[in-house]
Amino acid sequence: MGVDHGARRAIFLDRDGVVVAPLVRDGLPYPPACLADLEILPGVREALLRLRDAGFRLVLVTNQPDIARGTQRREVVDQINRQLVSELPLDDVRVCPHDDADRCRCRKPEPGMIEDASAEGRIDLAASYMIGDRWRDVEAGRRAGCRTVFIDRGYAEPAAIEPDLTVGSLPEAADWILSTEDSR
Domain limits for position 67? 9-182
For residues 167 and 41, is the Cβ–Cβ distance under 8 A?
no
Active site residue 99: no
- Identify the pLDDT of residue 158: 79
In this structure, is residue 4 part of a structural domain?
no
Q: What are phi and psi of 97, to 5 degrees?
A: -90, 10
Using a 10 angstrom Cβ sphere, with 0-12 exposed, 13-18 middle and 19 or more buried, the burial of residue 167 is middle
In this structure, is residue 83 part of a structural domain?
yes
In this structure, is residue 2 part of a structural domain?
no
Active site residue 37: no
- Identify the pLDDT of residue 1: 38
Catalytic residue among 14, 92, 133, 137: 14
pLDDT averaged over 10-residue windows placed end to end, the chain, 184 residues: 65 98 93 96 98 97 94 95 98 95 94 97 96 96 98 86 94 96 68
Maximum alpha-carbon separation in the chain = 50
Radius of gyration over alpha carbons of the chain, in Å? 15
- Identify the pLDDT of residue 2: 41
Q: Which CATH number do you get for residue 161?
A: 3.40.50.1000
How many of the other CB atoms lie within 10 Å of CB of 159? 14
Number of domains into which the chain is organized: 1
